[in-house]
Structure 1
Amino acid sequence: MPVTYQILPRHNLVYVRYSGAMMVEDSLKAFDTYARDPGARPGQRHLVDLSRITDMERDFARIMQLQATKGAELAMRETETLMVYFANTPLSLRAAALAKNGWSVSQGVIAVVFEREDAVMSALGLPCETIDDMLQTDLRKID
Structure 2
Amino acid sequence: MPATFQILPSHNLVYVQYSGLMLVEDSLRAFGAYAQHPDARPGQRHLIDLSRITDMERDFAKVMQLQAAKAEDLAHNGLETMMVYFANTPVSLKAAALAKNGWSASQGVIAIVQETEAAALSSLGLAFSNISAMLTAEERKRA
Aligned AA (2:31): F
Matches of 1:92 and 1:101, distance apart in 2: 14
The alignment status of 1:80 with 2:76, answered yes or no, reads: no
| SS of equivalent residue, structure 1 residue 88 | coil
Q: Which moved further from structure 2: 10-19 or 120-129?
A: 120-129
1:126 is displaced (CA, Å) by 1.1
Q: Percent identity?
A: 68
- Per-residue CA deviation, residues 26-84 of structure 1 (Å, 9 max, x unaligned), is 10011011011111000100000000000100000000000000000000011000000
1:134 counterpart residue number: 134
Give me the TM-score of the superposition, normalised by structure 2.
0.97
Matches of 1:28 and 1:130, distance apart in 2: 27
Aligned AA (1:96): A
The alignment status of 1:119 with 2:119, answered yes or no, reads: yes
Give me the TM-score of the superposition, normalised by structure 1.
0.97
| SS of equivalent residue, structure 2 residue 97 | helix
- How well do the aligned residues superpose, as a CA RMSD in angstroms? 0.9
1:6 counterpart residue number: 6
1:36 counterpart residue number: 36
Aligned AA (2:27): S
Matches of 1:141 and 1:56, distance apart in 2: 34
- Per-residue CA deviation, residues 91-138 of structure 1 (Å, 9 max, x unaligned), is 000000000000011110000000011111111111110000000111
Matches of 1:52 and 1:95, distance apart in 2: 12
1:141 is displaced (CA, Å) by 2.5
| SS of equivalent residue, structure 1 residue 5 | strand
Moved over 6 A (4+): none
Query: Which 5+ residue runs of structure 1 have no aligned equivalent?
Result: none
Aligned AA (2:99): A
